[in-house]
């Protein structure tokens, strides 16, 4: 029987919508932070990711965090700012997050801090992540150089807006015609939107300086049957890894029979 590597999930809801964490029992000053996409949820977007990562020796000391935000009614810039503030606290004062939610007997030493954090994002979450690290750069936060990004089906080049309702479940999907006008982030996801145009400009500006490695994704993953986002290479990101016979939501839902997403994340650690 494999030795337990992480404590049970704890809520970090004060930092985001249903945000939660699995703290490592023997931390190595590293973390994985997962960020869902349009209409997604902090946990269900990623299904078995947490359980599968717990079993991987390469992740045994990584804290695993699932960040949540309003992926419908909030604009991408607002969500990115929210995420930036969370990352800033995670790097600058991690004990105020970890030790307030962990068993007193397992609390971490005063000198605990993160040496690296991998941001794993899906769809709209990729925009939120990249914008957050650009905000960090603009605020001269040195910790941004200790971040890296793994992006599943990123929406950096926009999405097919008429197909977005397929991403939703339950009553909200059927009420789309009524609520569409209230969903602010739709404007951000339109190809050529002001948000996407500025995101590309700022990414190119930062990376052209030679000091913007953090703004280039370590890995990009596309699904063959994704008909939601526009699959086009963004800025200086690497050529995408491709998953055959997987659609927009399936690319980030690993299982014991579909282990590629876990392997692709582990390879970036």
77-127 pLDDT, tens digit each: 999 999 999 999 999 999 999 999 998 989 999 999 999 999 999 999 999
Residue 257: pLDDT band by 50, 70, 90 thresholds?
Answer: very high
The predicted structure's pLDDT at residue 169 = 63
Q: How far apart are CA 209 and CA 254, in angstroms?
A: 37
Q: How far apart are CA 34 and CA 120, in angstroms?
A: 5
Q: How far apart are CA 163 and CA 215, in angstroms?
A: 28
Beta bridge partners of residue 122, listed in sequence order: 152
pTM listed for this prediction = 0.94
Q: How far apart are CA 23 and CA 141, in angstroms?
A: 24
The predicted structure's pLDDT at residue 3 = 82
| H or E element, residue 128 | helix 124-138
Beta bridge partners of residue 148, listed in sequence order: 118
The predicted structure's pLDDT at residue 161 = 77
Nearest CA to 97 out of 112, 79, 82 is that of 112
Residue 9: pLDDT band by 50, 70, 90 thresholds?
Answer: very high
The predicted structure's pLDDT at residue 176 = 57
The mean of the pLDDT values for the chain is: 93
Condensed to tens digits (0 to 9), the pLDDT of residues 193-229 reads 999 999 999 999 999 988 899 999 999 999 999 999 9
How many other CB atoms are found less than 10 A from the CB of residue 119?
Answer: 28
Q: What CATH class is the domain 10-266?
A: alpha beta
């Amino acid at each position: 029987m494999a030795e337990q590597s992480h404590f049970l999930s704890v809520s970090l809801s004060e930092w985001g919508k249903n945000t939660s964490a699995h703290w490592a029992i023997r931390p190595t000053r590293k973390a994985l932070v997962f960020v869902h996409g349009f209409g997604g949820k902090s946990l269900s977007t990623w299904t078995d990711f947490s359980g599968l990562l717990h079993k991987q020796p390469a992740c045994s000391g990584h804290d695993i965090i699932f960040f949540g935000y309003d992926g419908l009614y909030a604009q991408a810039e607002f969500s990115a700012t929210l995420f930036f503030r969370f990352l800033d606290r995670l790097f600058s004062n991690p004990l105020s997050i970890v030790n307030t939610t962990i068993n007193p007997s397992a609390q971490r030493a005063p000198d605990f801090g993160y040496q690296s954090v991998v941001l794993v994002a899906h769809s709209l979450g990729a925009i939120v992540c990249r914008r957050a690290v650009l905000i960090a750069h603009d605020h001269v936060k040195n910790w941004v150089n200790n971040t890296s990004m793994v992006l599943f089906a990123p929406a950096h080049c926009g999405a097919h807006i008429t197909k977005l309702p397929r991403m939703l479940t339950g009553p909200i999907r059927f009420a789309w015609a009524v609520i569409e006008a209230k969903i602010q982030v739709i404007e951000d996801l339109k190809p050529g939107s002001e948000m996407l145009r500025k995101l590309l400009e700022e990414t190119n500006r930062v990376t052209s300086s030679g000091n913007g490695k953090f703004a280039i994704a370590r890995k990009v993953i596309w699904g063959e049957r994704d008909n939601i986002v526009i699959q086009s290479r963004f800025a200086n990101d690497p050529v995408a890894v491709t998953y055959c016979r997987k659609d927009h939501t399936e690319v980030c839902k690993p299982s014991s029979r579909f282990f590629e997403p876990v392997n692709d994340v582990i390879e970036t650690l």
